[in-house]
Amino acid sequence: MLTYRNPMLGLQDWWAVPLFVGAGLALGLGHRHAAIPLSRAQTLPPTNLRSALLGFGALVFCYGSSGLLQSWPLADLIVYLSIFMGAVYFVDDRARPTLLVHAVGAALLGPAVEIYISSTGAFSYVHPDVFGVAYWLPGIYVNAPSAAISWIVV
């Protein structure tokens, strides 16, 4: 759970909505323009509606439950990583390398951005564990690329 320095829109600051939109675009476009070249896939890895919906559901569950389960941050991280492994299981074998590259990038870059923003005082976690963010945060970001697949269903 976060607290914002100057909440204006409900419990969020004005810049939170554009930040979420930017993160969504970066994750969606990052799959096509970063993860695919970095995984050396020759073409867009195949996917299907089932894996896209499961990936989106995994992200929504992890994000939605993070505030409720914050009292057990390491257990949260383990649960979120387990959910990601389940999502990986349902992805076409040829899409897995790209998904894994994207997931590692998201799990590293997403928390890094939040660590930076948190260090400015713009927001803070109610229960920070390391560098001003929660242990479970990479577990949410690792699931985001599974949802990004829904952008590229063919």
For residue range 45-59, list pLDDT tens digits in order: 667 777 778 888 998
The answer to whether 99 and 33 are in contact (CB under 8 A) is: no
pTM of the model: 0.86
State the average pLDDT for the chain: 85
Give the structural domain span for 38: 24-113+135-152
Q: Is residue 95 part of a domain?
A: yes
Q: Is residue 8 part of a domain?
A: no
Determine how many CB atoms are found less than 10 A away from the CB of residue 147: 24
Q: Is residue 19 part of a domain?
A: no
Q: Is residue 75 part of a domain?
A: yes
Q: Is residue 47 part of a domain?
A: yes
How many domains does the chain contain in total? 1
Average pLDDT over residues 81-98: 87
Q: Is residue 146 part of a domain?
A: yes
The answer to whether 75 and 134 are in contact (CB under 8 A) is: no
One-letter amino acid of 54: L
Q: Is residue 125 part of a domain?
A: no
Q: Is residue 124 part of a domain?
A: no
Determine how many CB atoms are found less than 10 A away from the CB of residue 136: 24
**Residue 27 binned pLDDT confidence (cut-offs 50, 70, 90):** confident
